[in-house]
Amino acid sequence: MRRQEVSIADIARSAGVSHTTVSRALRESPLISPNTRGRIQRIAREMGYTPNALAQSLQTQRTSTIGLVVTTIADPFFSDVVKGVEGIAREAGFSVFFGASHNEPEQEMVLIDTFHRRRVDGILIASSRVTNYEQRLDHIRVPTVLINSQAQSQHKLLYRVAVDDYLGAQMAVEHLLQLGHRAIGYLGIQSRPYSNQQRLSGYQTALRAAGVEWRDDWIMIAPKEEASSGEDVNAGRELLPSLLDAGVTAVFCYNDMVAIGGLMACREQHIALPETLSIVGFDDVNAANFVTPQLTTIRQPKVQLGQLAMNVMLDLLDGRPGQDHILSPQLIVRNSTTPFTHN
C-alpha cells in the first residue's frame, strides 16, 4: 500500500503559483505577501498537506528523534523510566524510537545500529550490557546516555544517569540491623552483574560496619536465565527456601520482583511474614504496595531517572556540556520488616 501524498507541486498547481512560492509561503517567508501566504497555507491545509519530517531532516541534519533501549518493557521498573523519558522528549518536540534488548548485548548493538541508520540525534540505553562501546561509538558518533548501566564502558560521547546501588543496599541492611536482625541474607541476580555487585558490596559493608560476619550460605545469586518478565520472581521463589534453611531471619533482595517471589515461596510454605522472616526489596515498583505484607523497599526515583537522562541528552544536543548524575535512593518502610524476636 503506497500513500498518495499531497506534494508542494500539487499545492502549486491548485493555487496557480510556482513551487518556490508555495515552499516560501509554507516557511512563512517575508518574500511572499501576507495575503498570498494566508491563501496558500489555507489551500495546503484543505488539501491535507503535512510537511515531510524526513525531507526536513536531510536538510537540517537533525531528526528530532531519539532511540530508547530497555531490557524488557515487561519489567515494571522500566515502564516508569520510559514514562519519564517520553514526557520530556515530547515537551521538547522529540519522537522516541523504542526497542527491547532482552538483556542481550548482541540485541542491544542491533538496536543501536538500527537507530543509527535512522539517524536518531541521540540514544538512551537502560541497563546496558554492552562492554565495548568505545569501539562502536567511534564509528557511530551519537551522544549516548546510559541509565543504570550494567557495564563499565568509558567514552567521551557516553554519559551516565544512575541510582546509587551501593548506598541503597547499605540503607536496606542498616534498617534490618536497627530492627535487631543479625543473620541477614542477600538474594541476588547474575543477569544484571554491575548493580548486583554494587548491592552485594553495600550489603557486606553494612554488615561489616556492624561487626556481623556473614556466612557463605546467607548469600544466594540466581544464575542468568533466558530473559523473561518472570525471571526475577522465579529466582526469588526458588532460592528463598535455601536462605531460610541457612537460618537467616531477614533477607535483602536484589529488587522488588525477587522479593515478591520470596513472598510467594513463603505463602506456599505457610511461613508467617514478617514474624518469621523480614524481607526488603529494591526499586519500589507499584506491586510493592499490592502484595501482602506490603513490601519495605529502597525506592529508586524511576520517572526522574528517565527525565534526567533525556534532559542530559537535550543538553548534549544543544551543545551544552554533558554531565553524569548519581541519584540517591530512599528507604520506604512498610509491613514486610519487623523487629527480630527470639522465639
The reply to whether 323 sits near a copy of itself by the rule CB under 8 A is no
The reply to whether 340 sits near a copy of itself by the rule CB under 8 A is no
Residue span binding a copy of itself (CB under 8 A) among the ranges 18-26, 110-118, 123-131, 146-154: 110-118
Residue span binding a copy of itself (CB under 8 A) among the ranges 29-37, 165-173, 192-200, 228-236: 228-236
- Work out the end-to-end distance of the chain between its first and last CA atoms, rounded to an integer number of angstroms: 73
Q: Which residue has the cell 543538553?
A: 315
Neighbours of 174 (CB within 10 A): 17
How far apart are the C-alpha atoms of 334 and 343, rounded to whole Å?
23
Region of 209 please: left (phi>0), alpha (psi -120 to 50) or beta: alpha
Q: The dihedral of CA 252, 254, 256, 260: what is its sign?
A: negative
Among 16, 30, 35, 48, contact with a copy of itself (rule: CB under 8 A): 48
Strand segments (E) across the chain: 65-70, 95-100, 122-126, 144-147, 158-163, 184-189, 219-222, 250-253, 278-280, 297-299, 325-327, 330-332
Among 58, 209, 326, 333, contact with a copy of itself (rule: CB under 8 A): 58
Binding mask 120-149 for a copy of itself (x = CB under 8 A): ------------------xxxxxx------
Among 115, 133, 159, 166, contact with a copy of itself (rule: CB under 8 A): 115
Q: Which three cell numbers stand for residue 55?
A: 525531507
Q: Please work out the total of residues on this chain that contact a copy of itself, with binding judged by CB under 8 A.
A: 63
Least Å from the CB of residue 244 to a copy of itself: 19
The reply to whether 270 sits near a copy of itself by the rule CB under 8 A is no
Cα torsion at 130, 239, 180, 278 (round to 10°)? Answer: 100
Residue span binding a copy of itself (CB under 8 A) among the ranges 72-80, 202-210, 212-220, 246-254: 72-80
The reply to whether 269 sits near a copy of itself by the rule CB under 8 A is no
Query: Partners of 297 in the beta sheet?
Result: 332
The reply to whether 99 sits near a copy of itself by the rule CB under 8 A is yes
Among 114, 178, 242, 269, contact with a copy of itself (rule: CB under 8 A): 114
Q: Which three cell numbers stand for residue 329?
A: 535512593
Binding mask 8-47 for a copy of itself (x = CB under 8 A): ----------------------------------------
How far apart are the C-alpha atoms of 229 and 149, rounded to whole Å?
19
Q: Is residue 94 within 8 Å of residue 66, measured between CB atoms?
A: yes
Least Å from the CB of residue 174 to a copy of itself: 27
The reply to whether 118 sits near a copy of itself by the rule CB under 8 A is yes
How far apart are the C-alpha atoms of 6 and 15, rounded to whole Å?
13
Among 292, 323, 333, 339, contact with a copy of itself (rule: CB under 8 A): 292
Residue placing its CB nearer to a copy of itself in the complex, 6 or 210: 6
DSSP 8-state assignment for residue 320: P
Q: Which residue has the cell 542481550?
A: 104
Interaction site with a copy of itself (CB under 8 A):
1-5, 48, 50-55, 57-58, 61, 63, 65, 68, 72-74, 76, 79-80, 82-83, 86, 90, 95-100, 113-119, 138-143, 229-230, 233, 260, 263-264, 267, 286-287, 289-292, 316-317, 319
